[in-house]
Amino acid sequence: MLQRKKLCQAAEFMKSTEIDLWVTLARESTMARDPVLPMLADMYFSRLAAVMVEKGGRAIAIVSFLEEASAKQLGVFDEVIAYSGSREFSDAFGEFLGRGSRQTIALNFSRDDPAQDGLSHGNYLAFMDMLDHLNFQGKVVSSQPILDEIRSVKTEEEVERIKEAIRITQQIFDDAKDFIRDGITERQIFDFFQARAKAYGVEPSWSIDQCPGVKVSLDSPSGHCGPTDIPARRGSLVCIDFGVVYQGYCSDMQRMYYLLREGETDAPEQAKEAFRVVCDTIDGARRFMKPGVTGFETDRRARAYLTGFGFQEWPHGLGHQVGTYVHDGGALLCFRKKSNGPLIDKPLKAGNVFAVEPATYVDAGYLCVEEMVYVTEEGGVFLTQPQSELYLLP
């Protein structure tokens, strides 16, 4: 079971750290869910609960009696401790803590990475008060090193789920070749992609009001937004940013279409040259993406390559990790600015999955291709089948 494998992955990694116990807290988890919780224990927690991993390798859950049966049914925990009646969570946790000597407890908070900052402030305060009441003499640290490992380093099963999400996404891109025509609006394209996702039994990778992102003109809004009623016109590029979720794992891809003018048999040379350079930028980044290099170095090299051909550089980062979320945290491929913090200087690891998305602007419109790259010990490999030419539409 994948959840058990992720718990074991965390325990194995903890052997190389000072952390004795990793605690993920949950309470009313349908409305306030830590992003890591589905990877460890995909169930509902009503009252305060803890999913814990010991340095020695055991996985333990402390839950209300209301969730005891569910926690046991998951089959991922070595021990399930339930509290009921007059007993509180603090009683059960105190008894557990008294079993052995634990000097360092890790909790899910992070200044830099929202994917690793799932502990609510209220739960943090309550937990710290409880430790004080229990006279805990050790220290509390961020679990960011553990979370970075289990979110970023994908297992074989996780990669297979991502690959299936990619396959379905590409099929929908291919289906759209027979739909996109002169006069079709962004909103109609948007509705087509969502309808196809539903037909294939999957959901969009990100906010349903913004996935897919559709740009049919230089007048289309930039950034993350919903579709407009701007129509696609002959002689224009159509850029679609789309992904789906398959068994909890996301894809994130962009594909480029060109609407031929009357009498045209190919796209303009400027658009074709920009497309080639963007694709070569992605391939160059892939070949550079080896364990140990940083996201900043990767982004900087890619920008230098594209602008060396005289094209305008893209305003966003080169790429981001993809997994259970489309922006899955961890190392980031981006330029240096304060809000990116240390994420751009994190070394890439074997097992990382990135979406790589350089872009530029040409007379025919916005041009961005996005491919997904898997980092191995030998270097980056494509999970997607890279788009090799513009999709020409009559």
Quick check: 108 and 77 in contact, CB under 8 A?
no
The pLDDT-based confidence of 337 (bands split at 50, 70, 90) is: confident
Residue 255, SS3 per DSSP: strand
pLDDT tens string 218-263: 999 988 899 999 999 999 999 999 999 999 999 999 999 999 999 9
Global pTM reads 0.95
Q: For tokens 């297992």, what's the residue?
A: 155
CB count within 10 Å of CB 219 equals: 9
What are φ and ψ of residue 353, in 5° steps? -120, 120
pLDDT tops 90 at residue 37: yes
Residue 125, SS3 per DSSP: helix
Q: In this structure, what token pair is assigned to residue 214?
A: 């559709």
CB count within 10 Å of CB 301 equals: 15
Quick check: 61 and 41 in contact, CB under 8 A?
yes
pLDDT tens string 78-106: 999 999 988 999 999 999 999 888 899 99
